[in-house]
């Protein structure tokens, strides 16, 4: 058994994702003695934290066992570290990834991989032609609730899937009152990679493709419900990106669906992100943690009985899918799969082509809004 060390550059280390999900999970793998590989070796990630603010980086690095850090991406690219993780703010990601590819780094990046499908596919082609291992974070199907929904679908529970319904979002404060805005201000600025559709369609695409059927068409309607906000410095700014995205979708198997995603609604449901699949043999509703099913045989009469107050308890005839014990953090699972791929043990399924498919749905939704028409979703090839 040998210890193999692998250097990972984390660009955007002081951000929410950078600190909690990427640095946090990689340090946890290292603290356990590394990732066990099939041949008995252990792969130990060694981090290089990168960001723009030296004081914040230094403090972060020191608080987590004196990790290496730098404010110079160029310096990081010139060094020996093998993997580049970009989890900085979305804006400018393609340029950073191109630099990393030119430096021969394996690429593992946050979603969305680029602002347009053309740029996203360019990254996929460049990484592929350079013979680099590439992947994008697709964490949601590793969440317990959506994992159970995927397993329910794979087991054939739904029969013929007829519809998909996504209801997601919560109220994001504008920062003018007592509550701070919960999302970074770049989320609300187009030039910095903001926009709810670009942010979240990336998740909906792979979730729908894999749980139900590939998306073949989209028609979208967007809005900026809250046009002015207060940023991290307490300054007011104009929002020029959408905070609401409603979309109709068509799926390859003939099913249809809706995506209602907004940061300007107060949810009254089980979770802020709820996905419902309806099929001829059964339905399921999942949030991040829980998943409930109702089979055809358990379906109550809810047309005539529901027409009088208290006539039918619509929540009664659902069964909770049992938890799978011992699940690891979703980002940790993404990292373990990707590290095994880099070590030559198996594929990593969400490649940059999958990342581009996710961007494609957002891109087509924006074009649907601009042209006020349905957009077909063409197949993407390297």
Ligand X SMILES: NC(=O)c1ccc[n+]([C@@H]2O[C@H](COP(=O)([O-])OP(=O)(O)OC[C@H]3O[C@@H](n4cnc5c(N)ncnc54)[C@H](O)[C@@H]3O)[C@@H](O)[C@H]2O)c1
The span from the CA of 215 to the CA of 370, in Å, is 20
Least distance from ligand X to the Cβ atom of residue 253, Å: 27
> Residue 250 or 332: which CB sits closer to ligand X?
332
Query: How many Cβ atoms from other residues are within 10 Å of residue 329's Cβ?
Result: 16
- Report which of 292, 175, 178, 279 is spatially closest to residue 229, judged by C-alpha positions: 175
Instruction: Collect all residues with Cβ–Cβ distance below 8 Å to 338 and sequence separation of at least 6.
Output: 108, 133, 135, 348
| 307 DSSP assignment | G
Treating both helix axes as pointing N-terminal to C-terminal, what angle do 352-371 and 117-129 enclose, rounded to 10 degrees? 160
> Residue 24 or 184: which CB sits closer to ligand X?
184
> Residue 22 or 106: which CB sits closer to ligand X?
22
The span from the CA of 10 to the CA of 48, in Å, is 6
Least distance from ligand X to the Cβ atom of residue 330, Å: 8
> Residue 92 or 267: which CB sits closer to ligand X?
92
In angstroms, the first-to-last Cα distance of the chain is: 38
Least distance from ligand X to the Cβ atom of residue 263, Å: 13
Least distance from ligand X to the Cβ atom of residue 166, Å: 15
> Residue 49 or 220: which CB sits closer to ligand X?
49
Least distance from ligand X to the Cβ atom of residue 139, Å: 5
Least distance from ligand X to the Cβ atom of residue 18, Å: 6
Q: List residues near ligand X by CB under 6 A.
A: 12, 14-18, 51-52, 87-92, 110-111, 137, 139, 184, 186, 199
Least distance from ligand X to the Cβ atom of residue 220, Å: 19
> Residue 162 or 198: which CB sits closer to ligand X?
198
Q: Are 260 and 168 in contact (CB under 8 A)?
A: yes
> Looking at beta carbons, which residue is closest to ligand X?
15
> Residue 38 or 95: which CB sits closer to ligand X?
95
| 56 DSSP assignment | H
Q: Which residues pair with 376 in a beta bridge?
A: 217
Tabulate helix, strand, coil % of the chain (nearest 5).
35, 25, 40
Q: Which residues pair with 275 in a beta bridge?
A: 166, 286
């Amino acid at each position: 058994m040998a210890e193999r060390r692998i250097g990972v550059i984390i660009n955007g280390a002081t951000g929410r994702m950078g600190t909690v999900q990427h640095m946090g999970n990689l340090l946890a793998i290292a603290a356990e003695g590394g990732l066990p590989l099939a041949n008995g070796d252990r792969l130990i990630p060694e981090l290089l934290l990168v960001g723009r603010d030296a004081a914040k980086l230094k403090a972060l690095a020191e608080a987590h066992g004196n990790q290496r850090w730098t404010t110079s991406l160029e310096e990081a690219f010139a060094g020996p570290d093998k993997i580049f993780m970009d989890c900085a703010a979305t804006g400018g990601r393609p340029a950073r990834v191109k630099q990393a590819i030119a430096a021969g780094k394996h690429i593992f990046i946050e979603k969305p991989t680029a602002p347009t499908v053309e740029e996203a596919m360019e990254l996929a082609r460049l990484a592929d032609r350079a013979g680099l291992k590439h992947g994008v974070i697709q964490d949601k199907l590793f969440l317990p609730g959506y994992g159970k929904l995927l397993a329910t679908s794979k087991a054939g529970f739904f029969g013929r899937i007829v519809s998909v319904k996504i209801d997601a979002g919560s109220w994001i404060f504008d920062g003018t009152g007592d509550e701070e805005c919960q999302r970074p201000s770049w989320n609300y600025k187009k030039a910095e990679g903001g926009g709810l559709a670009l942010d979240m369609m990336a998740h909906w695409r792979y979730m729908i493709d894999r749980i139900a059927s590939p998306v073949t068409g989209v028609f979208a309607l967007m809005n900026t419900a809250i046009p002015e906000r207060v940023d991290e410095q307490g300054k007011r700014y104009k929002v020029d990106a959408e905070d609401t995205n409603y979309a109709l979708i068509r799926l390859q198997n003939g099913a249809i669906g809706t995506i209602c995603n907004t940061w300007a609604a107060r949810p009254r449901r089980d979770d802020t992100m709820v996905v419902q699949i309806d099929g001829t043999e059964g339905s399921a509703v999942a949030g991040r943690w829980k998943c409930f099913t109702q089979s055809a045989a358990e379906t109550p009469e809810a047309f005539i009985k529901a027409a009088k107050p208290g006539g039918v308890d619509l929540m009664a005839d659902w069964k909770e899918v049992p938890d799978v014990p011992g699940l690891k953090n979703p980002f940790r699972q993404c990292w373990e799969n990707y590290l095994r791929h880099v070590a030559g043990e198996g594929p990593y399924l969400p490649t940059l082509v999958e990342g581009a498919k996710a961007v494609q749905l957002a891109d087509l939704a924006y074009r649907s809004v601009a042209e006020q028409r349905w957009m077909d979703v063409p197949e993407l090839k390297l």
